Amino acid sequence: MVDWRDLHLPEVHWAPHGLPGALKSLPGWVARVASESRFAGEIIDFEKALPKPSRRQTPIRRQVLVVPGFGFGDAATLPMQIAVKRAGFRVVRSHMLANVRCSDRAVDRLAEVARRAVDADHGRRLMVVGHSRGGMLARGLGARHPELVSTAVSLGAPLNDEFAFYEIPQPVVGVLKVVHQRDPELRERQCVTRDCTCPYMLATHRPFPQDVELISYYTTSDGIVDWRACVVPGAENIEVPGSHLGMGLRPDTVDAVVARMIASADRF
């Protein structure tokens, strides 16, 4: 049986499957760019993405660490931060200015942030939600530190293959690879490659801890990553509409994520 990775040829013909209307007839990279152009309209829905204050009589009293996507910082997750806060959660920021560090070192830093939050909450594990690369780091944090994480939620994160992305991020990833290879330790680990041997990569290839819930949201009209890499065996995989860039802004997606996290807050 041919693995889907063998068919991942973004530079040749692959286009998102769930495109609306006339976009379905566009070839390859044109379709992917057109798909992500919907992000402009999704930004307009920013205010609609903020749910009404929770009707619960008391706060949920669970902490949620919110992790931004590739190249972005905490400011980019403001809609999700406000949404989870209005639902009754307590928000823990990642303290990232730009999510471009080596994944292993980024998870180490997130673990420090998470440990302080967990200690302040009398040892109760927190929930983590991340968009795109932030979702990969959320999964990595849960894999390496199950004592800190009860639920890891990813939005548009290629958890099955970290390099299953298309043209748009490739130039920046190429630059980062050159920069990281200047560090002797990262060069020895083969950082920014599928053959990387860092603790983060090794942890993500092991079975995910059974006492940590893993939820992966994906859109088949994703123009940044191959959506098939977001469907993870053993995880709860949930399809949503929209673009990759707009996953944290669409009202229906944000509402679904928050509702799912509320359900997990009472069980994990």
Task: List, run by run, the mean pLDDT of 10-residue segments along the chain (268 residues).
Answer: 50 57 65 74 64 59 95 92 92 95 94 98 97 96 97 96 80 78 79 82 90 96 89 93 88 90 87
User: Which tokens belong to 262?
Assistant: 């509320």
Determine the Cα–Cα distance for residues 250 and 2; give it in Å rounded to an integer: 35
Determine the Cα–Cα distance for residues 224 and 98; give it in Å rounded to an integer: 18
Residue 157 pLDDT = 96
Measured in residues, the chain has a length of: 268
How many structural domains compose the chain? 1
Residue 193 pLDDT = 74
Residue 4 pLDDT = 47
Determine the Cα–Cα distance for residues 94 and 143; give it in Å rounded to an integer: 17
CB-count burial class (<10 Å; 0-12, 13-18, 19+) for 143: buried
Residue 15 pLDDT = 58
Residue 188 is part of which domain span? 22-265
Q: Is residue 252 part of a domain?
A: yes
User: Which tokens belong to 94?
Assistant: 């990642």
Residue 13 pLDDT = 45
Q: Is residue 204 part of a domain?
A: yes
Q: Is residue 69 part of a domain?
A: yes
Q: Is residue 14 part of a domain?
A: no
Residue 31 pLDDT = 72
Determine the Cα–Cα distance for residues 256 and 262; give it in Å rounded to an integer: 10
CB neighbourhood size of 174 (10 A): 11
Q: Is residue 7 part of a domain?
A: no
Residue 163 pLDDT = 84
Q: Is residue 147 part of a domain?
A: yes
Q: Is residue 36 part of a domain?
A: yes
Instruction: List helix spans (H) across 151-233.
Output: 170-181, 184-189, 199-204
Q: Is residue 10 part of a domain?
A: no
Residue written as token pair 């949620």? 64
Determine the Cα–Cα distance for residues 155 and 247; give it in Å rounded to an integer: 7
Give the domain CATH number at 247.
3.40.50.1820
User: Which tokens belong to 159?
Assistant: 């958890």
Residue 1 pLDDT = 44
Q: Model pTM?
A: 0.85
